[in-house]
Amino acid sequence: MTAGGFLRLGLVGWPLGHSLSPQLHTAALKAAGLDGEYRLYPAAPLPEGAAALAELVEALRQGRLDGLNVTIPHKRSVLPALDELSLAAAAIGAANTLYTRGGRLIGDNTDAPGFLADLARLGFSGDKALVLGAGGSGCAVCYALVHAGWQVSVAARQFEQARSLASSLDGDAGVLEALPLNPAALAGSFSLIVNTTPLGLYPEVQGNPWLEGAAFPAGAAVYDLIYNPAETALVRQARAAGLRASTGLGMLVEQAALAFERWTGVSAPRAAMWEAVEVKEGVTR
């Protein structure tokens, strides 16, 4: 912790204008009775943003910062600068939470447990999941589901990317498989569908990862990692089809709460964090 017990926390990524992290962590600090701040640190994609990213990592290593969140496009590019990775961050190949312990700079991934925590909150359960998208978020979601006992299929526009993800995470043959993104693949008997692509993210709110004309699996629940807008095109379509559906706002809150606990050693005040984003977004749990 920096001088005087003042916590200096923040988020590095690009762009950051849509981020709700300052509201979440400012509310958490206040509710926990901790003195501190949470700032946004824009750093452009590499190579342009390399110097800015390196400067922030060094500030954390030297104790001028107490904790950093990392978002797109640096969850992978930050890894070479770290001394140690959690098991989840190493398996996923991405870190979204940085902190120091005993002089060592550690990278963790709270996206995976944050996603599972929100599934439990919503009561979404089952045994077969379809994950749309094979990027960093897709990898985190697949890792979480496989380790929670789900059989997972991942589909992406670039099939080779989906196959590479499946190969990297599947310790037991058949637990995680790659599928081409076509209507036949989407027609499986899935109990959960998860969108990890950016299709539908503000301001391109009409984007939808679900193929036009494809039917949803009967009785499936739909989870869209996007939380801005408050109701994405995918969530709206799924609800219109009579399915339970949710955006990723709960995952955002939970991954932030877990990061807060890594940095402070204090139990995160989740109710206050929820209130902070519910007021801004006009949504309910």
Residues with catalytic function: 75
Residue given tokens 């003195």 in the structure block: 35
Straight-line distance from the first to the last Cα atom of the chain, in angstroms, rounded to the nearest whole number: 33
In this structure, are residues 127 and 100 in contact, taking their beta carbons and an 8 Å threshold? no
Question: Of 261, 246, 253, 244, which is closest to residue 278 (Cα–Cα)?
Answer: 253
Question: Of 33, 40, 51, 38, which is closest to residue 14 (Cα–Cα)?
Answer: 40
Give the CB-side neighbour count of residue 131, counting CA atoms within 13 A. Answer: 33
**Sign of the Cα pseudo-torsion (54, 60, 63, 68, in order):** positive
In this structure, are residues 228 and 200 in contact, taking their beta carbons and an 8 Å threshold? no
In this structure, are residues 243 and 278 in contact, taking their beta carbons and an 8 Å threshold? no
